[in-house]
Homo-oligomer: A and B are copies of this chain.
Amino acid sequence: MIDFPSKERLAHIVYESDDRASKYFDLVLLVLILMSVSIVVLDSVEEIHTNYGSLLYGLEWFFTLVFTIEYGFRIWLSNNKRGYIFGFYGLVDLLAILPTYLSLILFQTQYLTVIRALRFLRILRILKLPKYVREATLLTTALKHSQAKIKVFVGSVLTIVLVMGSVMYIVEGPASGFTSIPRSMYWAIVTLTTVGYGDIAPVTDLGQFIAALIMLMGYAIIAVPTGIVSSELTAARLDETKRAKSPEAAAEHCPACGAQSHSEDALFCRKCGAKLDAAQA
């Protein structure tokens, strides 16, 4: 506070998180985001809005100002201003502060519903959270690896939903709530994913028979994404274990020909046959 830090230092604090000051900055921001989101959530409860509405409104403005200053700082400190402003986090930052200001300008009653909806854009602040959680990358990597298979899986599910939804639309018809194919497809998703609200349910014998088939399908199909992720994670784990066991093996070059990537327990170079261990000793 006394020694005002240089612009480079500030940029480091705001954009990195590898020393004390930058970690504190991240933590404070994390807490502010969680608090501001809580306020939006609480304000949506009728009773709380009636009793503490003005207090929450004040806090709302406080957080908006804080995040506005943060937004300004981030633009000022960024080397690639255009990249930040039009990037994902820049847009989230902007959308999170904009609605409060808009509510001042668009004060006419005809825009009230729009403003009401826009105010909840502040919830988007939560999307800045993953940045502060290291472990998240672990899972996203595993998911990315199985992406191709997951796409095929989602495609199959949607095909089943389309075909089964159409069949049920013909079999049950509007009388049981299957008023259109899109609604039938909604029901098929509710059933296939085993959610089963019961707001729409088959009443004819044939309809219940087909529904039972869809349920059994859903029950069996869920094994597929689980199997994909399981095998991906198991493979990743076994890889880790192996590498942990013989860290030097990974870097083992043949002393004679320089060939790499020998199997872990190779005694002789798989290219030229020279003894590997002897050379290392």
Contacts and interface: CB of A to CB of B under 8 A. Distances in A.
B238 A215 contact: no
Interface string A134-178: 011011001100001111111111010011001101100000000
Contacts of A186: 208-209, 211-212
B182 A45 contact: yes
B116 A170 contact: yes
A98 to B, nearest CB: 16
Interface string A20-54: 00000000000000000100110011100000000
A162 B272 contact: no
A78 interface: no
A195 B215 contact: yes
Given A126-B163, A219-B193, A277-B267, A205 B182 contact: yes
This chain's copy number in the assembly = 4
Interface in A89-118: 116-117
A236 B166 CA distance: 36
A223 to B, nearest CB: 4
Contact of A245 (B143, B167, B194, B261): B261
Contacts of A59: none
A12 B216 CA distance: 38
A152 B135 contact: yes
B44 A180 contact: yes
A1 interface: no
Contacts of A133: 152, 155
A161 to B, nearest CB: 9
A273 to B, nearest CB: 2
Given A126-B163, A139-B149, A268-B267, A44 B230 contact: no
Interface string A237-281: 111010001101100000000000101111111101110011011
Interface of A: 37, 40-41, 44-46, 116-117, 120, 123-124, 126-127, 129, 133, 135-136, 138-139, 142-143, 148-157, 159, 162-163, 166-167, 169-170, 179-183, 185-186, 189-199, 201, 205, 208-209, 211-212, 215-216, 218-220, 222-239, 241, 245-246, 248-249, 261, 263-270, 272-274, 277-278, 280-281
Given A193-B218, A198-B198, A263-B264, 6 more contacts: A44-B182, A133-B155, A139-B156, A150-B220, A224-B229, A235-B241
